[in-house]
Amino acid sequence: MPHTRYAPDRGLTARMVTTMFFIGLLYVVFIGVLLALFKGAWPLIVILAGGLFVAQFWFSDRIAAFSMGAREVTPQQAPELHGAVDRLCALADMPKPRVAIADTDVPNAFATGRNQRNALVCATTGLLRRLEPEELEGVLAHELSHVAHRDVAVMTIASFLGVLAGIMTRAALWGGLSRGSRNNNVGIAVLLIPLISAVVYAISFLLTRLLSRYRELSADRAGALLTGRPSALAAALTKVTGQMARIPTRDLRKVEPYNAFFFAPALSGESVSRLFSSHPTLERRLDQLARISAQLGQAGRG
């Protein structure tokens, strides 16, 4: 990880490496199964697998930003937002990312980018309208931590592999079925491939959710330690979660697919199993911030 003043997190690094190893292994096995069942379509499979993965790696930040309605803004267009990012980047000793705003009343923020040089941090108009300056800095410090620790790149790639499995399935079935008269395995493949694809997607989903919950706690911790104001981040968390309940459900549904990238989930509740949640519970996040606040208080007195 490039050097910054953000507190390092070996637990996060270990989880990122483990997640990428298992998802990569899963992906290789999946491609191997496709090649074994559709020998005649192997050029299509290899070209699609390689091309789509490279495209996702290089353009993931633009794809994510576009999907979530982010619009890059200049310091003249958003002086307060740029000012907060400038202060935090100077404090963290890291390059300044591109700054964007998403025009939605859903109060949230996210970061994208495969590295610090092409990163983008985005806040929604709903977030900017509701938070005090210190609270906004707490949220931005959380998001910049994702960039500094590079877990946003790992999440983007890991999430995409599950989607890629579905694309590869349809391509392989199309290529294999078009050669059905010369391939005795097509009938079996029609039954097996959707099942295998579903398994690949389910395992990828669970692995990314496990990583997502830990990385949110890590970003809370790193952001609070960088600013030295855990209470400001806790206040922002409480306010955003409370305000989310006032947003029309139809608007929350539109952004729900991007929950894993947001500061706080658009939709949550007791009805959602913790196993499938992209974020730890609000209580757990606030409890961690309270402990950090107590530790900083003790260090100050010492």
As a whole number of angstroms, the distance between CA 122 and CA 251 comes to 18
Give the count of beta carbons closer than 10 Å to the beta carbon of residue 179: 13
Is 142 marked as a binding-site residue? yes
Residue 3 is assigned to a ligand binding site? no
Instruction: Tell me the backbone φ, ψ of residue 103, rounded to 5 degrees.
Output: -85, 85
Sign (positive/negative) of CA torsion 150, 152, 157, 162? positive
The answer to whether the beta carbons of residues 85 and 141 sit under 8 Å apart is no
Question: Terminus-to-terminus CA distance in the chain, angstroms?
Answer: 32
Inter-residue contact 216 to 121 (CB < 8 Å) = no
Helices first, then strands: H and E counts in the chain: 10, 4
Give the whole-angstrom CA distance, residue 179 versus residue 175.
7
Q: Can 80 be counted among the known catalytic residues?
A: no
82 is in an annotated binding site: no
Radius of gyration, alpha carbons of the chain: 21
Q: Which of the residues 80, 132, 134, 143 is marked catalytic? A: 143
Cβ atoms of residues 97 and 120 within 8 Å: yes
Question: How far is 10 from 91, CA to CA, in rounded Å?
Answer: 21
Phi, psi of 268 (to 5 degrees): -155, 175
120-124 vs 98-102, strand pairing mode: parallel
List the binding residues.
142, 146, 216
List the binding residues for Zn(2+).
142, 146, 216
Active site residues per annotation: 143
